[in-house]
Each structure stands twice: as structure tokens, then as C-alpha cells.
Amino acid sequence: MRPSWHRPQRKGHHRWQTPTAVWGWSALETKKPGMLTAAAVLVLLISISRLVLGVHFLSDVLLGLFLGVVLLAAFSKLWQPVERWLKKQNLRNQILLAFFSSLFIIGISAIVVALSANWQMPADLSLIHISEPTSPY
């Protein structure tokens, strides 16, 4: 069941890419035994807590974990070749690349928000009837 104050939305998998990728990358970079296991346990516990609290759907958490692992794998594979290429670029090109990459990410986000602005969760997907919170006074 979801808390009465929570308005369920079919969003949230993007939130699980970040912890998976960040903790995974941190564990890979430390190169210490057990760090990858510790990172995996931490991400798993965080994911379980989100499900227990009822603030995310299982599908959102699983998709986010999957996307995080894919991003981690891609990043670890591409990091060194991209770093070598960037070091060959002059400062002007590096700044322009950072600027236009940021604009691209903002643009993609704006498109996703615009396309999903009118989306509503179908009533049959809701686990409980959600009503507006009432004041205890």
C-alpha cells in the first residue's frame, strides 16, 4: 500500500540509474576487494526501502537498476578512450563540448516532460484510493 500523502506516478526509474552508476563506479575506482559487493548491497537496500515505503513501483526500481548497470558498463568501457580524446582537444573545444552537451541533455529532458505532461495513472493501477490529505484540525 502507498502512503495516503503519496500521489503515485509512473515515473521514478531515472532515480535508480544514479545510485547504481555512482556507487558502482566508486566501487570500481577504489579497486579494493569487497567494495563492489558493498556497493551492490547498499543499492539493493536502498531499492528495497523504496518498495517497502511504497514510494515506487517494482517495475520502476528494476528498470532503474537495469539502466544504472548499463550506464555503469558503458561508462567503464568508454571512460579511457574518451578521456584520451578530450585531452587532445584545446580548452575552447572542451568548453564548447561541455556547453552543447549540457544543452542537449536539457533539451531531451524538456521533450520528455512536454510529452508526458498530460499523462495520468490509470485508476486500475492504483493500489488504494488516493485522496487529498486532510488536516487533523
Q: Is residue 36 classed as helix, strand or coil in its secondary structure?
A: helix
Reading the block at residue 108, the C-alpha cell is 531531451
Q: Quickly tell me which residue has 498530460 as its cell.
A: 118
* Residue-range domain boundaries for the chain: 14-125
Residue 118, number of CB atoms within 10 A of its CB: 6
pLDDT given at position 135: 58
Distances (CA, A) of 74 to 69, 82, 130: 9, 12, 40
pLDDT given at position 6: 47
**Which pTM does this prediction carry?**
0.60
Q: What is the mean pLDDT of each run of 10 residues along the chain (137 residues)?
A: 46 62 86 88 88 82 87 90 94 96 94 85 60 57
